[in-house]
């Protein structure tokens, strides 16, 4: 995943994913059930992607990949920011799916039922 189009394509394949720009015209946020699971700056060079992670997973990833850092302007314990030029595309895709699953898992039962997840 090395482009905004590739990020959009993966997110579009996730049930009930929504594209929003709540922080201005450059900050593309993907949400499910009204909760953010991915964030990218569409104008940034290099392209980065911020994703939600379990705290222990975030520590593991930051230790293994220099291109993965604590979430930029996000809770550093629960979010990581990936420099997409420095991580394998399949890892970025996996982490995006994991972020989505974490957010869906955190929704209350009524929200999940409403979304039929």
pLDDT tens digit string along 76-100?
Answer: 889 999 999 999 999 999 999 999 9
Distance, in Å, from the CA atom of 31 to the CA atom of 84, rounded to the nearest integer, reads 20
Q: Could you write out the DSSP letters of every residue in 57-90? A: HHHHHHHH-TTEEEPTTS-TTTEEEEETTSS-HH
Q: Would you list the domain boundaries of the chain?
A: 4-115
Q: What are the CA-CA distances from residue 6 to residues 2, 77, 84, 110 (Å)? A: 7, 26, 11, 31
Tell me the CATH number for domain 4-115. Answer: 3.90.1150.30
Q: What are the CA-CA distances from residue 102 to residues 18, 45, 46, 47 (Å)? A: 16, 28, 26, 23
> CA 98, 105, 62, 28 torsion: positive or negative?
positive
**At 41, is the pLDDT very low, low, confident or very high (cuts 50, 70, 90)?**
very high
Cis peptide before 17 (omega within 30 of 0): no
Exposed e or buried b per residue across 78-107, where buried means at least 16 C-beta atoms within 10 angstroms of its C-beta: bbbbbbbeebeeebbeebbbbbbebbbeeb
Residue 111 has pLDDT above 90, yes or no: no
Looking at residue 72, its pLDDT comes to 83
**At 32, is the pLDDT very low, low, confident or very high (cuts 50, 70, 90)?**
very high
């Amino acid at each position: 995943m090395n482009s905004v189009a590739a990020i959009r394509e993966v997110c579009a394949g996730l049930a009930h994913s929504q594209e929003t720009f709540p922080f201005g015209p450059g900050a593309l946020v993907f949400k499910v059930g009204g909760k953010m699971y991915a964030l990218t700056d569409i104008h940034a060079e290099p392209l980065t992607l911020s994703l939600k992670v379990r705290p222990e997973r975030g520590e593991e990833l930051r230790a293994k990949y220099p291109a993965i850092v604590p979430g930029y302007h996000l809770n550093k314990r629960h979010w990581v920011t990936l420099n997409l030029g420095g991580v394998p595309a399949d890892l970025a895709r996996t982490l995006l799916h994991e972020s989505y699953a974490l957010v869906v898992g955190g929704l209350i039962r009524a929200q999940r039922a409403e979304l039929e997840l």
